[in-house]
Amino acid sequence: MSIDAVAAGFEVFEVTVTHVYDLTILSVSGELDLVTAPQLTESIDAVITEHTPAALIIDLTGVPFLASMGMTVLVRTCEYLGRSTRFAVVADGPRTSRPLTLMGLDDTFALYSDLGSAVAALAS
């Protein structure tokens, strides 16, 4: 498990990496916006460079605000991984799930409301 953190204003933005089975989970906490999106990109790049996981889950349940730049990071990650790595995003509620759904990104990558459902779907 590793943790990458950066202070963005008064709030700390963190990305925690855990491995479950052959899945890699990046749990994000803090606002995901123009200032913090590069940190998420760096964390994703580090995980992919270290070893290509069979599946990558980005958990946004700890994100109180999701800006368009954060959504761009998710789309670019999905495009980069292609068919080589299964990809899913966990988002629940009006601050994360709603913008992703309104932008139609639930058609671009798998979107789950809780981490358990994402792990169950991608582990099988």
Domains, the chain, ordered by start: 2-123 (3.30.750.24)
Q: Provide the pLDDT confidence category of residue 27 given band limits of 50, 70 and 90.
A: very high
Higher pLDDT: 84 or 55? It is 55
Supply the pLDDT for residue 51: 83
**102-108: Cβ within 8 A, 24+ apart:** 103/71, 105/71, 105/74, 105/75, 108/75, 108/78
How many angstroms separate the CA atoms of 50 and 113, rounded?
28
Q: Is the pLDDT of residue 2 over 70?
A: no
Q: What is the pLDDT of residues 61-79, one digit of tens each?
A: 999 999 999 999 999 999 9
Supply the pLDDT for residue 5: 52
Q: Is the pLDDT of residue 3 over 60?
A: no
Supply the pLDDT for residue 71: 97
Q: What is the pTM of this model?
A: 0.89
Mean model confidence pLDDT for the chain: 91
